[in-house]
């Protein structure tokens, strides 16, 4: 997960397999998730990625459209802004679902079964989630979101420790 | 004179300003550039599972050799920063990736390398194509600043690196690999010439 998500996710989950990507290279959470999914095909890799972050690395959609394995699920948190640094608006006409499709994600990935969708309500997300977690992908789902609560403060510092916690959770250290 | 429009004195000053120096004398017995086939063999011997690589003029034969090999997974991203982050994810998941990158791509990938390599102490292994080195050694002015900044950039990031100028230098791959493992930090080799068959 990246940026704003990394501040809010710990409020609801503290699993050792959670991994925040706050300071790990701007825009590259999806790329890291792609590598992790390729390395661990027996597990589901879920990327919680912001739309602003995607704009920093749009080419990664094309790379995923070619290589993403069936166990990769990308949830694009679409708030149309750089929320964490002041909620400055994103380019208003960018269509992330269309971008993913045009990048070859739909019907693509390593399986040739890539799926792109837009999930617009919480009810629809709750209904879709079991399918997204079990069905062979890769999946790219755009999820429009809004947030009215103040963001928790940034407190992450131990980058090396967090990545090793994840490796430990995967049985590697 | 490399450039007929400037005097030898001026050229000397420019070469100094742009960091063009004559490096250690290369073996007269060796051909310039490492063999792509021998480099691939060394990569496989070190147990690399994936190669992240964008093709460039100097590495195209290595790219072809890796792409033709059934035992190595070749991933070609759209930009070099992706290579770094994908490699970090592969390593985190227990695989052993190698990043092959031209110096220009290395410069593009700076934030990814900082964020996914040095910061979290991920032992990324890099082969960096040193575009401009051959021209500089031949006494010609580099076409741009990529040559000049390659070594200073690696040094500024604290990335230990070794040079591969021919087949006799291929053991440096093992040294780079071992150093990355021992330091848990990125390490690199730089290749000065285009890969040969």
pLDDT, tens digit (0-9, with 9 covering 90-100), for B93-113: 999 999 999 999 999 999 999
Cβ neighbours of residue A60 under 8 Å, at least 6 residues apart?
A: A27, A28, A30, A31, A34, A54, B77, B78, B82
Which parts of chain A sit beneath pLDDT 50? none
The pLDDT of residue B15: 46
A146, with CB counted inside 10 A (0-12, 13-18, 19+), is exposed
Domain locations along chain A: 4-169
Strand arrangement of the beta sheet that strand B97-102 belongs to: B73-75, B50-53, B97-102, B125-129, B187-191, B160-164
Q: Tokens 């940034």 belong to which residue?
A: A154
Check A33 against B89: CB less than 8 A apart: yes
Best mutation target among A32, A71, A109, A110 (most B Cβ atoms within 10 Å) is A32
Q: Considering the domain B29-191, what is its CATH architecture?
A: 3-Layer(aba) Sandwich (3.40)
Give the tokens for residue B12: 């000397």
Q: Tokens 């390490």 belong to which residue?
A: B187
Interface of A with B in 49-108 (CB under 8 A): 57, 59-60, 62-63, 66-67
Nearest CA in chain B to A162: B120
Q: Tokens 């330091």 belong to which residue?
A: B183
Cβ neighbours of residue B63 under 8 Å, at least 6 residues apart?
A: B53, B55, B74, B100
Check A34 against B116: CB less than 8 A apart: no
Least Cα distance to A6 among A159, A164, A167, A172 occurs for: A159
Q: Which CATH class is domain A4-169?
A: alpha beta
Set of chain A residues whose Cβ sits within 8 Å of the Cβ of B119: 23-24, 159-160
The pLDDT of residue A86: 86
The pLDDT of residue B2: 35
The pLDDT of residue A72: 98
Interface of B with A (CB under 8 A): 50, 73, 75-79, 81-82, 84-95, 97, 111-116, 119-122, 184
The average confidence (pLDDT) of chain B is 88
Best mutation target among B54, B82, B123 (most A Cβ atoms within 10 Å) is B82
Set of chain A residues whose Cβ sits within 8 Å of the Cβ of B78: 59-60, 62-63
The pLDDT of residue A5: 80
* Spatial separation of the C-alpha atoms in residues B110 and A105, rounded to whole Å: 27
Query: Which residue among B50, B78, B85 sits closest to A28, beta carbon to beta carbon?
Result: B85
The pLDDT of residue A128: 98
Nearest CA in chain B to A57: B82
Q: What are phi and psi of A76, to 5 degrees?
A: -90, 110
The pLDDT of residue B114: 95
Query: Which residue among A24, A26, A27 sits closest to B120, beta carbon to beta carbon?
Result: A24
> What 3-state DSSP class applies to B125?
strand
CA A91, A92, A95, A96 dihedral sign is positive
The CA distances from residue A20 to A35, A80, A99, A161, B78, in Å, are 15, 21, 25, 12, 24
Compute, in degrees rounded to 10, the torsion defined by CA atoms B110, B113, B115, B120: -150
Do strands A72-78 and A139-144 pair parallel, antiparallel, or not at all (unpaired)? parallel
Q: Tokens 């269509």 belong to which residue?
A: A95
Let me know: does B191 contact B99? Beta carbons within 8 Å: no
Check B90 against A67: CB less than 8 A apart: no
Residues facing A81 on adjacent strands? A89
Measured CA angle at B9 (ends B6, B14), to 5 deg: 70
The pLDDT of residue B10: 52
Set of chain A residues whose Cβ sits within 8 Å of the Cβ of B75: 38, 63, 67
Least Cα distance to A36 among B63, B131, B95 occurs for: B95
The pLDDT of residue B7: 41
Q: What b-and-e string marks burial along B44-75, b requiring 16 or more CB atoms within 10 Å of the CB?
A: eeeebbbbbbbebebbebbbbbbeebeebbbb
Domain locations along chain B: 29-191
Which parts of chain B sit beneath pLDDT 70? 1-31
Interface confidence (ipTM) of the complex: 0.95
pLDDT tens, residue by residue, B21-50: 444 444 444 569 999 999 999 999 999 999
Check B91 against A28: CB less than 8 A apart: no
Let me know: does B172 contact B180? Beta carbons within 8 Å: no
B172, with CB counted inside 10 A (0-12, 13-18, 19+), is buried
Query: Which residue among A31, A163, A170 sits closest to B86, beta carbon to beta carbon?
Result: A31
Check B81 against A25: CB less than 8 A apart: yes
């Amino acid at each position: 997960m990246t940026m704003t998500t990394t501040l809010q996710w710990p409020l609801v989950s503290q699993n050792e397999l959670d991994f925040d990507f706050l300071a790990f290279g701007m825009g590259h959470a999806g790329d890291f998730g792609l590598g992790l999914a390729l390395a661990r095909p027996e597990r589901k890799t879920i990327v919680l990625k912001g739309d602003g972050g995607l704009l920093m690395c749009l080419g990664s959609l094309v790379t995923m459209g070619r290589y993403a394995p069936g166990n990769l699920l990308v949830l694009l948190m679409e708030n149309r802004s750089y929320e964490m640094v002041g909620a400055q608006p994103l380019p208003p006409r960018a269509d992330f679902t269309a971008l993913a499709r045009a990048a070859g994600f739909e019907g693509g990935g390593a399986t040739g079964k890539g799926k792109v969708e837009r999930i617009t309500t919480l009810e629809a997300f709750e209904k879709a989630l079991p399918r997204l977690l079990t069905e062979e992908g890769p999946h790219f789902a755009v999820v429009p979101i809004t947030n009215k609560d103040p963001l928790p403060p940034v407190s992450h510092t131990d980058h090396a420790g967090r990545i090793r916690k994840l490796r430990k959770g995967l049985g590697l250290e | 004179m490399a450039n007929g429009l400037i005097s030898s004195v001026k050229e000397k000053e420019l070469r100094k300003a742009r960091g063009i120096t004559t490096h250690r004398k290369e073996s007269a017995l060796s051909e310039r550039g490492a063999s792509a086939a021998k480099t691939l063999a060394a990569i496989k011997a070190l147990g690399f599972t994936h190669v992240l690589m964008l093709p460039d003029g100097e590495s195209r034969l290595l790219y072809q050799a890796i792409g033709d090999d059934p035992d190595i997974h070749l991933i070609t991203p759209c930009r070099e920063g992706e290579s770094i982050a994908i490699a970090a994810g592969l390593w985190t998941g227990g695989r052993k990736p190698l990043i092959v990158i031209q110096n220009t791509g290395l410069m593009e990938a700076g934030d990814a390398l900082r964020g996914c390599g040095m910061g979290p102490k991920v032992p990324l292994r890099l082969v960096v194509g040193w575009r401009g080195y051959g021209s500089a050694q031949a006494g010609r002015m580099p076409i741009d600043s990529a040559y000049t900044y390659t070594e200073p950039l690696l040094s500024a990031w604290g990335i230990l690196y070794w040079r591969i100028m021919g087949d006799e230098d291929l053991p440096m791959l093992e040294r780079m690999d071992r150093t990355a493992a021992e330091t848990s930090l990125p390490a690199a080799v730089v290749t000065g010439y285009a890969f040969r068959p």
